[in-house]
Structure 1
């Protein structure tokens, strides 16, 4: 059977899982969910109730980074895993302090005593760390993307969308160019195709990818 991927189109975690699956050229059955109406089948497989969730013949993978590693371990034709150790450090910064600040910036009403502008600026300081690098090269570590790019850029997209006018006004030639290359890529268009909400009686939808 094909692996089953429960996904939500705009979730940055689900997006990066789809990016890796597409890069690897694998086929999965995609089940698009509505987060306010999560399917029983997904919750039975993964009670945590968040996407993405990948069901394989050997078990359930519940974290997006683990899904990326699973896909690229099977096939990595674009060499995404060929990155320096600094790539893992960058991923950790985005998954950790950047995402913490992003959540408090974007969803301020969910937290007590949060100043969204201060959280926005915390995240901005992290992006500024790679601005010089991205002015010199189109991607974080050279002329082509690596895992460090695809595992983090969906969160930067989310950050840019909170206040697009503010983001556009920043003097971030490198970061904004990096994001624009991603948003205008065939790969981004490929993973952002709109699918209907999955229903148990629906015909299976096959999601796969091709090298850019």
Structure 2
């Protein structure tokens, strides 16, 4: 939808790739925060120059915050735009703006510590194991089962957690559920038939609940590419 350009200039801009798990979890957190941003969909083989200027590393998500006016400054000097180009940081930023469902567990230090430790473990360890598993499947390598079993050490932990409570940290949904969701979705797709028969029924139930949710359908809408359209797309 096209909106007033003045409004567009005041909003954060999110450069995103529809199926990238890192971009996906950034969109999930922004959606849940009810924070409005401009969504610019890209493809990796044609990255926008303004995105690369903001974040030369060229990966998504990239969140560009608009310049702000320091009203306490007598000259009302404009502070330059800020760039957030790590998905974890985009998620934290979004939920710091507004967290209506208390996904950050801000009043429960123990749950918050567990939540962030779990995300760090999956970001730092599971992600590389998942890439090995995906490669073994794609290239028909002999170590497919071994790669899957490495991933399963992490998956089994989630199954145990989901046996004890409804979500990954407690009976209340948290930041960790959104942060891990896109990667568990990838895991489930690698050997689909094996996954459907795997001994992880609670994980399957948890994942299916998200994949069938209105939230997921909203953040996965396929939009016109930023470089191919003059349409201003809003998330939230």
Q: What TM-score do the two structures reach when normalised by structure 2?
A: 0.82
Question: Of 97, 100, 104, which residue of structure 2 is paired with 1:74?
Answer: 97
- Per-residue CA deviation, residues 128-163 of structure 1 (Å, 9 max, x unaligned), is 012122123221133332001111111110111111
Q: Offset at 1:96?
A: 1.5
Determine if the alignment matches structure 1 residue 146 to structure 2 residue 155.
no
Question: Of 120, 137, 140, which residue of structure 1 is paired with 2:165?
Answer: 137
Instruction: Name the SS for the 1:202 alignment partner.
Output: coil
Q: Structure 2: which 5+ runs fail to align? A: 1-9, 67-80, 106-110
For the residues of structure 2 that align with 1:157 and 1:143, how far apart are their CA atoms? 21
Q: CA RMSD in A?
A: 1.9
- For residue 54 of structure 2, what is the aligned residue in structure 1? 45
For the residues of structure 1 that align with 2:214 and 2:137, how far apart are their CA atoms? 35
- For residue 177 of structure 1, what is the aligned residue in structure 2? 205
- For residue 95 of structure 1, what is the aligned residue in structure 2? 123
Instruction: Name the SS for the 2:227 alignment partner.
Output: coil
- For residue 115 of structure 1, what is the aligned residue in structure 2? 143
- Per-residue CA deviation, residues 73-94 of structure 1 (Å, 9 max, x unaligned), is 1110010000342111211121
Task: Tell me the matched-pair count.
Answer: 207
Structure with greater contact order relative to length (CA < 8 Å, sep ≥ 6): 1
Instruction: Name the SS for the 1:30 alignment partner.
Output: strand
Q: What TM-score do the two structures reach when normalised by structure 1?
A: 0.91
